[in-house]
Chains A and B, each alone.
Chain A
Amino acid sequence: MQYALILDGVSKHFGSFTAVSNLSLQVPKGCIYGFLGQNGAGKTTTIRMVMSIFHPDSGRISVLGQPDAATVKDRLGYLPEEKGLYKKMKTAEIVAYFGKLKGMDSRTANLRAKELLIRYGLGDWLDKKCEAMSKGMGQKVQVLGTIIHEPELVILDEPFSGLDPVNRDLMRDLILDMKRQGRTVIFSTHGMEHAEQICDYVMMIHKSKLQFAGTLSQIKQGRDLGIQLDYDGDGDQLQHLPGAARVNDHGKHAEIFLQPGKDPQQALRWLLDHVTVKRFDYREPSLHEIFVRTVDEANQKLATAGVER
Chain B
Amino acid sequence: MANKTLLVAQREYLENVRTKTFWIGILIVPLLIGVMVGASALLAKLKQVQRYTVVDLGGGDLLARAEREFRQGDAKAVFQLLAKAKDDPKLQELQRKVGATGDGKEPSGEQMLAIFDWMQAQDPAVLAKFADLQTSKQYDYLPAAELGIAEIGSEAGQQELNRRVQKGDLFAYFVLGDKPQESTTDFRYVSNNLTDDSLRSAYENALTRIVQKDRIAEAGIAPKVATHIQQRVEFQKQQVDKTGATAEVKRENVLDKWAPVGFVYFLWMAIFSIANLLLTNTIEEKSNRIIEVLLSSVSPHQLMQGKIWGIAATGLTIVGTWVGFGLLAGWLVPQFLGDTSGGMMGMLFTALGNSGYLLAFVVYFLGGYLLYAAVLVAIGSVCNTLKEAQNLMQPVMMVLMVPLLAMVFIGQEPNGLVAKVMSFIPLFTPFTMMNRAGGPPETWEYVVTSVLLVVTIWLVMKGAGKIFRVGVLMTGNPPKLKEIFSWLRQS
Contact = CB atoms under 8 A, between A and B. Distances in A.
Contacts of A146: 293
In this complex, the member of B289, B291, B292, B296 whose beta carbon has the largest number of chain A beta carbons within 10 angstroms is B296
Contacts of B3: 103
Interface in B378-394: none
Nearest to A145: B293
B296 A84 contact: no
A100 interface: yes
A70 B3 CA distance: 15
B294 A101 contact: yes
Nearest to B306: A101
A78 interface: yes
Contacts of B294: 101
A180 B64 CA distance: 107
A238 interface: no
A293 interface: no
Given A82-B289, A89-B15, A53 B295 contact: yes
B298 interface: yes
Interface in A53-112: 53, 70, 73-74, 76-80, 82-89, 97-98, 100-103
Interface string B248-272: 0000000000000000000000000
Contacts of B290: 84-86
B288 A84 contact: yes
Contact of B7 (A74, A76, A101): A101
A228 interface: no
B11 interface: yes
Interface string B4-40: 1001100100010010000000000000000000000
A98 B293 contact: yes
B292 A102 contact: no
A25 interface: no
Contacts of B296: 51, 53, 73, 76-78, 80
Contacts of B4: 101
A84 B289 contact: yes
Contacts of B285: 86
Contacts of A102: 297
Nearest to B15: A88
A77 B294 CA distance: 11
A91 B288 CA distance: 16
A196 B292 CA distance: 28
Nearest to A101: B297
A78 B293 contact: yes
B299 interface: yes
A73 B297 contact: yes
Contacts of B15: 86, 88-89
Contact of B473 (A53, A74, A89): A53
B292 A82 contact: yes
B18 A88 contact: yes
A142 interface: yes
B299 A70 contact: yes
Contact of A84 (B7, B8, B293, B473): B293
A105 to B, nearest CB: 11
A51 B294 CA distance: 11
Interface string B290-315: 11111111110000000000000000
Given A84-B288, A86-B288, A88-B18, A100 B293 contact: no
B336 to A, nearest CB: 42
Given A53-B473, A86-B15, A101 B298 contact: yes
A268 B293 CA distance: 52
B131 to A, nearest CB: 49
Nearest to A73: B297
Interface in B341-361: none
Nearest to B475: A82
A79 B290 CA distance: 10
A79 B293 CA distance: 7
6 tightest A-B CB contacts, nearest first = A84-B289, A82-B289, A78-B296, A84-B290, A101-B297, A80-B292
20 contacts: A51-B295, A53-B296, A70-B299, A73-B296, A73-B297, A74-B297, A78-B292, A80-B289, A83-B289, A84-B289, A84-B292, A85-B288, A86-B288, A86-B290, A88-B18, A97-B7, A98-B293, A102-B297, A145-B293, A146-B293
Given A80-B289, A84-B288, 19 more contacts: A48-B473, A53-B295, A70-B299, A73-B297, A79-B293, A80-B292, A80-B293, A82-B289, A84-B292, A85-B290, A86-B288, A88-B15, A97-B11, A100-B7, A101-B7, A101-B294, A101-B297, A101-B298, A142-B293
